[in-house]
């Protein structure tokens, strides 16, 4: 089974590039099947990691950045694929 972990944070005013750099420098205890990093307006940074594991498995996650780097606590979500959907091409 595959599970996707999402990590999303909003940088403090004017610190979007710093948050992006911080995220890119974070290593996980294990390598996921795939890891992608995104940015969005309002200095938001999103990281999605894919794992070959059950939905409720204990998996390494990105930590919380220093409080002064972000405007709020990190949001985290866990997703599983929907059966019957076409795989990525």
Q: How confident is the model at residue 79 (pLDDT cuts 50, 70, 90)?
A: very high
Quote the CA–CA distance of 61 and 5 in Å, as a whole number.
8
Using an 8 Å Cβ cutoff, are 50 and 6 in contact? no
Q: pLDDT at position 88, please?
A: 62
Residue 51 forms part of a structural domain: yes
**SS3 state of residue 67:** helix
pLDDT tens across 13-64, in order?
A: 999 999 999 999 999 999 999 999 999 999 999 999 999 999 999 999 999 9
- 89 pLDDT above the threshold of 60: no
Domain holding 71: CATH number? 3.30.70.100
Residue 61 forms part of a structural domain: no
Q: pLDDT at position 35, please?
A: 98
Residue 87 forms part of a structural domain: no
Domain that includes residue 12, residue range: 2-56+66-79
Residue 75 forms part of a structural domain: yes
- 85 pLDDT above the threshold of 90: no
């Amino acid at each position: 089974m595959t599970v996707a972990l999402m990590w999303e944070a909003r940088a403090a005013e004017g610190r979007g590039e710093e948050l992006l750099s911080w995220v890119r420098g974070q290593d996980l205890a294990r390598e996921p099947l795939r890891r992608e990093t995104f940015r969005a307006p309002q200095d938001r940074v999103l990281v999605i990691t894919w794992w070959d594991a059950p939905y409720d498995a204990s998996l390494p996650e990105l930590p919380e950045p220093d409080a002064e780097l972000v405007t709020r606590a990190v949001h985290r979500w866990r997703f599983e694929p929907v059966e019957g959907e076409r795989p990525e091409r």
